[in-house]
Amino acid sequence: MEPRSAQIHQTLQQLKRKTEQQEDQLYAIKQQQIQLEDTETELLHIEREKENLIAQAHDVWRGNHGRSVAYDAEDTAHESWRKLRKHIESTREQLQQEQKTIQSSLSQIEDERKLLHKELIL
């Protein structure tokens, strides 16, 4: 086997290993996205329950002090929910960016692999 041919085969093996690693990372990201969606669904369910409890608190707590406590609880709940949604969106965007980066890298590896195969054939 010619030295250049051996070098191309070695490079192709390295690209194959790198591709497998990147595909594993991509799979892990997809699993994290699925987990994030499941968590978000669960959080929406919890948020609805919390809103129902706050609505009941408004009905139960009469008088100025009771209303004040209920509104404070509602404000705190909405602020917590807003922060949580912001964190979820940030995490989702981060995972999407990582996914795009890996997919771009995989595309570059595939292009390089095709060039090496052409060179090997010639």
Cα diameter, the chain: 91
- Quickly list H helices, 1-122: 3-60, 63-121
pLDDT of residue 66: 64
pLDDT of residue 32: 98
CA dihedral 16, 19, 24, 26 (to 10 degrees): -170
Higher pLDDT, 94 or 120: 94
For 77-107, the pLDDT digits (tens) are 889 999 999 999 999 999 999 999 999 999 9
Separation of alpha carbons 91 and 83, rounded Å: 12
Q: Where are the domains of the chain?
A: 3-117
CA distances to 5, 15, 112, 115 from 120, rounded to whole Å, are 6, 15, 12, 9
Q: State the chain's mean pLDDT as an integer.
A: 90
pTM (2 decimals)? 0.79
